[in-house]
Amino acid sequence: MERLRNRPDFLRAAKGIRRVTPAITLEVCETPAASAKPGLLRVGFTASRKIGGAVKRNRAKRRLRAAAAAVLPLSGFPGNDYVLVARRDTLTRPFGGLLEDLASALHAAHAKLGRPTA
């Protein structure tokens, strides 16, 4: 996995497929040809001020990074960019629920892309 760090990458993902669960908003788009590497998927994380102060936003992003590290290597498709957006429930939802939310959002997004997961 490679990290998304540039604003244009986040904006392009925001125009792609979006799936909302109680704890996560998932945005998915294909990696542009100039940035694509075989067998590599890219992921970015964001948390707005609606989540809370800096401490809460950082905690939400840490939880999102841990969930992505657990789920994306198994369920993500190389050649896609994934952006995980924190929601208010990201902070309070049990970690198992966070993983289930991410897995269900990935499944729905991949079905919309025409690549259903097993």
Say which CATH topology domain 2-113 has.
Ribosomal Protein S5; domain 2 (3.30.230)
Give the pTM: 0.88
Given a cut of 80, whether residue 48 has pLDDT beyond it is yes
Q: What is the largest CA-CA distance in the chain?
A: 39
Q: Decide: 59 and 3 in contact? Cβ < 8 Å.
A: no
2-43 confidence digits (pLDDT tens): 898 899 999 999 999 999 999 999 999 888 877 777 878 899
Q: How far apart are CA 60 and CA 37, in angstroms?
A: 29
Q: Where are the domains of the chain?
A: 2-113
Q: Residue 12 and residue 111: Cα distance in Å, rounded?
A: 20
pLDDT score of 112: 85
